[in-house]
Amino acid sequence: MQRRDFLKLSAAAGAVSCVTACGSKKTETVIPEVPVAEKINWSSCTCNCGHSCPLKVVTRDGKIARIESDDLGDDSWESHQSRACAKGRSTKKKVYAADRLKVPMKRVGKRGEGNFREISWEEAFDTIAAQLRRVIDTYGNESVYCQYASGRLYSFFSGGHWAYGGLWGAKLLNILGGYLGQYNTYSSGQASNAGQYTFGGRPASGYAELRNSDLYLSFGHNPAETEMSGAGGSYALSVVAKGVETYVVDPRYSDTAVSSQCHWLAIRPGTDGALCEALAYEIITQGAADEAFLAKYCVGYDQSTLPASAAANSDYKSHILGQGPDGVVKTPEYAAAITGICAEEIRLLATKLIAAKAPFISQGLGVQRHACGEQAVRSILMLPLLLGKVGQSGTNTGFQPARNVYPLAFSPTGANPVTAKIPCFLWTDAVVRGEEMTATTDGIRGAEKLSANIKFIWNYAGNALINQHSDVNKTHEILQDESLCEFILVHDVQMTPSAKYADILLPDLTDAEGTDISANSATEAGVLTAMTSSVNTPFSAKGCFEVCLEIAKRLGVEQEYAEGKNYQQWLESLYNEVAVKKGYPNYDELVKMGIYRVKDTKPVIGLKSYIDDPVASPLSTPSGKIEVYSETLDTMSKTWTLNEGDEIPAIPKYIKTWEGFEDLETKKQYPLQLIGHHAKGRTHSSFHSNPWMREAVEDAVWMNPKDAAARGISQGDEVLVTSLRGKLKVRARVTPRIMPGVTSLPQGAWTKKQGDVDVGGCVNALTSQRPTAIGKCNPQHTNLVEISLY
Ligand code: SF4
């Protein structure tokens, strides 16, 4: 017995003797509860919030009594606690959830209906192995797809979705000849593409640089609802942005805007590019553009640095001054008509930017999740470049602030013999018409075209099979047709909407039940957590390693797969290799400590090495410089087949889009713009079925009082939200915290259909599968809707 356990038992025993000695004179017998010792193990919250907060799991008799948080250390900025938010602390409700998957099951109804029968693990493994063999033999390895998923990330073994090559299933499939790869993420595809074509990556400064800044301009970044950890941006801003004049550009007066006492510039969704053009106009015409900086570090700001292949006047400066092909001068008045921000406010913000010594300009990821999101990102990146304020203390590149990442080694997967990759958002297209998809029509990478449609989907710990993918109605039709995708394996912990589409459904262990190691990404001090468990799993659940091992056995590749080690041996040996290199405690020491804090206070300043020495540290763009004008994009615009109305400009610019503010035709029937936002009660769709979270955080569509009054809608009314693609029922939240003409719905609610209405409130009942032009990414915040009383 540990000393702590002994003390708890002693205290409990003392309480019992007090009852018997000081009780009433009646002769009734009080039967004391037998005291049960508490055990404490550390676990971690590995959902896709990114912070992997340590969780202190307190058990009694193998059952979770409660979940506590990181409470160790002095909690100074350099050593701050990674305190879990309410979601992580509600993990007990996830482990014992009513919809927990308890046994392996086989589908008996249609896909999506959720009708299954229990089968043995042997039957499950035999079926999966036979189907995998059949599909590979019939259609080739390129027909096997591992679905994008982010339910478990950032740990040695449970974590790393397929795109990161971090799962044991990837190793198994590589041994079997490979699988169709993917690139991009649902979270940040447009930002990554914009960064790649501009900087050759996504460089950014850390939050700590805000301490050295005198102006913070944020486009839609909302860490108060997306980074709620003690290691997250919300806490960081409260420490480092104190006293820094702050402007937030966002259609919603977000919780971050409220808490930062900022100047709120309410902007129409998808129009950030137009605002940036007008700010650029003011900076250039006031003589504040740092032309020496732009000439030295950038390609294509003006004609003097345009590549030889570029047309005359195709540079950025000409575009802003109305000397480019469109002939439009990008004045504040021009932008005001598009963005909804008045011209005087735009001028005032330009004046502030010009006067700032070290402006810290950043953006959230909602800005880019639009029909033309790459252009919004590129436009924001122009502001620090125009001012020549980048690569210096207190400044940022325009991207979301960087977080320190403490990488662990993932399981070694070997190389994937299949080189073809699809943009992750186009998987439904690859199910229906994979063989038609090429590099220039659909952004296929690693091959000119696909050789097969997707026939086998392996969905591990993810809900993008239906819920988190756009247009759930269309996805449902595709998945129900068993002549298209012939087999779907889902391995998860709960009966999610995606799980209902499984042919074979396997129960997984939760974080609190397994052994693993997690590492968080944090603002200054990171944490490694040795995840151990004293929870007796009351279900027949198995982890990913074991599932893959059993399938490998049936396919005759057990030895290549396991290489003679079991799960625990892999965990310890891989971790210990990293520990030696990084100076971390070894595995046994880490388990004793529970959590280990990694302090990292080195300043992180985006683009610093390039700005300090552009010759010695060139960027990984084709020119080695910052590409305001991208020849690569220019070539794509001439060689790619695009959807009608799509455009790939070589320079950053605002583009009118389908279902944007300027789509007047669609607005005749659907006059309101609709975006999605992250709310505190879910991380994407994780925690949706957790009753504590549903009780704590309201799901409602935000409407401005003017729009609500025009439709006879009052606070709390049930309303029907309709788009070209579907309908959903939800309550109305009538609030001036959203600008007129714009509505917003918390994303991640689980789809549930009643007739043709999604009564679960899943925003993807309304969204579109039409991808962006450049990155083929998801435009889930570009929607036009109408709202009426239900
Ligand atoms: S959701 Fe994020 S902030 Fe909350 S406990 Fe989990 S990892 Fe931490």
Q: Is 384 in the pocket of ligand 1 (CB under 6 A)?
A: no
Please, are residues 464 and 767 in contact by the beta-carbon 8 Å criterion?
no
Report pLDDT for 36: 81
Q: Is 84 in the pocket of ligand 1 (CB under 6 A)?
A: yes
Q: Is 56 in the pocket of ligand 1 (CB under 6 A)?
A: no
Say which residues have a Cβ less than 8 Å from residue 442's Cβ, sequence separation at least 6: 422, 423, 426, 429, 776
| Interval 552-611: pLDDT, tens | 999 999 999 999 999 999 999 989 998 999 899 999 999 999 999 988 778 899 999 999
- Report the C-alpha gap between 213 and 355 in whole angstroms: 12
pLDDT over 70 (residue 10)? no
Position 779, amino acid: P
Two structure tokens written together for 44: 């971690």
Phi and psi at 49, nearest 5°, equal: -95, -30
| Interval 490-506: pLDDT, tens | 999 999 999 999 999 99
Ligand 1: centre distance to CA 232 (Å):
9
Q: Is 153 in the pocket of ligand 1 (CB under 6 A)?
A: no
pLDDT band at 523 (very low <50, low <70, confident <90, very high): confident
Two structure tokens written together for 269: 């969704």
pLDDT over 90 (residue 48)? no
Give the residue carrying structure tokens 């080695």: 624
- Report the C-alpha gap between 590 and 578 in whole angstroms: 13
Please, are residues 640 and 781 in contact by the beta-carbon 8 Å criterion?
no
Two structure tokens written together for 94: 């996830």
pLDDT over 50 (residue 165)? no
Q: Which has more confidence, 173 or 162?
A: 173
In three-state secondary structure terms, 595 is strand
Residue 256, CA distances (Å) to 250, 364, 380 in order: 10, 11, 19
In three-state secondary structure terms, 148 is coil
Burial of 96 per CB tally in 10 Å (0-12, 13-18, 19+): middle
| Interval 553-566: pLDDT, tens | 999 999 999 999 99
Report pLDDT for 9: 41
CA angle 739, 745, 747 (to 5 degrees): 140
Please, are residues 42 and 531 in contact by the beta-carbon 8 Å criterion?
yes
Mean pLDDT of 418-422: 98
Please, are residues 541 and 512 in contact by the beta-carbon 8 Å criterion?
no
| Interval 262-272: pLDDT, tens | 999 999 999 99
Strands (E), 191-293: 215-219, 245-249, 263-265
Average pLDDT in the chain: 93
Q: Could you tell me which residues are beta bridge partners of residue 702?
A: 733, 744
Mean pLDDT of 306-327: 98
According to DSSP, the β-strands at 63-69 and 54-60 are antiparallel
Please, are residues 410 and 160 in contact by the beta-carbon 8 Å criterion?
yes
Site to substitute for ligand 1 among 42, 49, 70, most atoms within 8 A of C-beta: 49
Report pLDDT for 153: 80
Ligand 1: centre distance to CA 87 (Å):
6
Ligand 1: centre distance to CA 197 (Å):
32
Mean pLDDT of 100-119: 97
pLDDT band at 11 (very low <50, low <70, confident <90, very high): very low
According to DSSP, the β-strands at 263-265 and 181-183 are unpaired
DSSP conformational letter for 660? S
- Of 178, 364, 276, 374, give the one whose Cα is nearest residue 774: 374
- Report the C-alpha gap between 401 and 412 in whole angstroms: 30
Stated as kind and residue range, the H or E segment containing 19 is helix 3-22
Two structure tokens written together for 681: 């009660």
Ligand 1: centre distance to CA 413 (Å):
28
Please, are residues 125 and 489 in contact by the beta-carbon 8 Å criterion?
no
Ligand 1: centre distance to CA 467 (Å):
21
DSSP conformational letter for 738? B
| Interval 469-478: pLDDT, tens | 999 999 999 9
Ligand 1: centre distance to CA 49 (Å):
6
Report pLDDT for 409: 65
Q: Is 224 in the pocket of ligand 1 (CB under 6 A)?
A: no
How many Cβ atoms are within 10 Å of 482's Cβ, its own excluded? Answer: 12
> Which residue's CA is the nearest one to ligand 1's atom 3?
229
- Report the C-alpha gap between 37 and 21 in whole angstroms: 24
Q: Which has more confidence, 58 or 411?
A: 58
